Amino acid sequence: MAPTSTPQTPFGRVLTAMVTPFTPDGALDLDGAQRLAAHLVDSGNDGLIVNGTTGESPTTSDAEKSQLVRAVVDAVGDRAFVVAGAGTNDTHHSLELARAAQDAGAHGLLAVTPYYSKPPQEGLLRHFTAIADATELPVMLYDIPGRSGVPINTETMVRLAEHPRIVANKDAKGDLGRASWAIARSGLAWYSGDDMLNLPLLSVGAVGFVSVVGHIVTPELRALLDAHLNGDVTKATEIHQKLLPVFTGMFRTQGVITTKAALGLQGLPAGPLRLPLVELSPEETEQLTRDLAAGGVQL
């Protein structure tokens, strides 16, 4: 049974976009995934995103994706929302992934803007609607034009929000003005998808985070959120500023690379990366260690 949701927070407030642990030979590490999922929920996450970009979804097979959802649901599905990435730039394939995620026990779907193809807004509308129609699961859109090549325009958000199962958006657009209008007009539950903008997005109406740095600083993210909700702007700002070195360090290169390195430094399940991603160099690892230490992370 999934945790209790509300229309305002359909997937909770603090979610981490979880890496996919691999064994030393590069195979899927389901035991490691379960241990990492339990650790993240114990640290304060309301939910986990699996099979997203941070989960190296471009390099995992459909079968591996289903296995991962089942394993994580078995590990934490009674304590946290398990949201499965199902978006690709092929609508038909996305529908297959959505149905497979539902069959594997996912509580929700994350649907990224179709990448590389650069469809017009009408194509986005039909694509996301088809995904929402494919299962009974609630859907979180994922607007990240820096990766996909196209934004989800505010008018499109408003139209998509009319669908009863499209309930949220993960915002990695980096535009607080557009976010303000889209939040006000669509009524979607808004989640920050850019850790550096977690606090600014809360200030314009976001309800929570889908975080990468949540792998290592979930308690701090929870404290920031609680301070904001309690009206303690000073404390929220202090926590945000304390975390600036972490936000910077974790995104000096591709986030999956630094996250797996940070988890490895903490002795948590992560394992190697699949090409085309590559491990940090020794010099980059030293810089990451300095960045995390500056943000108060104990290694």
**Where is the binding site for pyruvate, in residues?**
54, 210
- Taking the alpha carbons of 135, 193, 270, 73 in that order, is the dihedral positive or negative? negative
Look at residue 153 and give its three-state secondary structure: coil
Q: Do 295 and 246 form a contact (C-beta atoms < 8 A)?
A: yes
- Taking the alpha carbons of 69, 66, 97, 264 in that order, is the dihedral positive or negative? positive
Query: Could you tell me which residues come within 8 angstroms of residue 277 by beta carbon, excluding any fewer than 6 positions away?
Result: 56, 59, 254, 256, 257
The beta-strand segments (E) located in the chain are 14-17, 47-50, 81-85, 108-112, 139-143, 166-171, 189-192, 208-211
CA 142, CA 47: separation in Å to the nearest integer? Answer: 16
121: which strand partners? Answer: none
111: which strand partners? Answer: 141
Catalytically active residues are 142, 170
- To the nearest 10 degrees (0 to 180), the angle between helices 121-134 and 91-103 is 30
Residue whose C-alpha is closest to residue 202's, from 229, 235, 241: 229
The count of other CB atoms within 10 Å of the CB of residue 183 is: 21
Summarize the annotated binding site as residue ranges.
54, 210
Q: DSSP character for 251?
A: T
Q: Distance between alpha carbon 297 and the CA centroid of its chain, in Å?
A: 21
